[in-house]
Amino acid sequence: QAPSHLGTRGSGGQVEASPRMADEDEARDFSEVAADLPDEEDIVFDGAMREADASALTELMGRGSFMERCRRCCGDANAQAMEQNHQAIASSDTGRRVEAVVTHYGAPHLRPATILERS
């Protein structure tokens, strides 16, 4: 006798899956899994966080080893575009720009200070 979670044995001795097994064991897509995750709290930026992110971004962009890793992972053209974009925003309030991106995408893992800690 086959265990109940495997289904039943057919006339040829093969285990046949029960119809409900396919529904229960079917892989869920990421949107279904993500919907079950607890909501993350919104990050509220303050001046110190903005300053830390601006400083971390400057440090990351100045690290040859970090930029080389970006080139390997993202390609030369994308790394060059990243450097040009950084130069374009370097004279503005970089911390506020980082805050806008992180808030818009709900992506605290994109904070330069967090990336710097992990690199």
Q: Of 119, 102, 89, 6, give the one whose Cα is nearest residue 49.
A: 102
Structure tokens at 96: 């506020």
First-to-last alpha carbon distance for the chain, in angstroms, is 55
Which pLDDT score, from 0 to 100, does residue 11 have?
Answer: 60
Contact in structure between 87 and 79 (CB atoms under 8 Å)? no
Contact in structure between 29 and 78 (CB atoms under 8 Å)? no
pLDDT in tens, the chain (119 residues): 545 455 555 566 665 555 444 456 688 888 888 788 777 677 889 999 999 999 999 999 999 999 999 999 999 999 999 999 999 988 889 999 999 999 999 899 999 999 999 98
pTM exceeding the 0.85 threshold for the entire prediction:
no
| Separation CA 41–CA 28 (nearest Å) | 25
Which pLDDT score, from 0 to 100, does residue 8 have?
Answer: 55
Cα Rg of the chain (Å, integer): 24
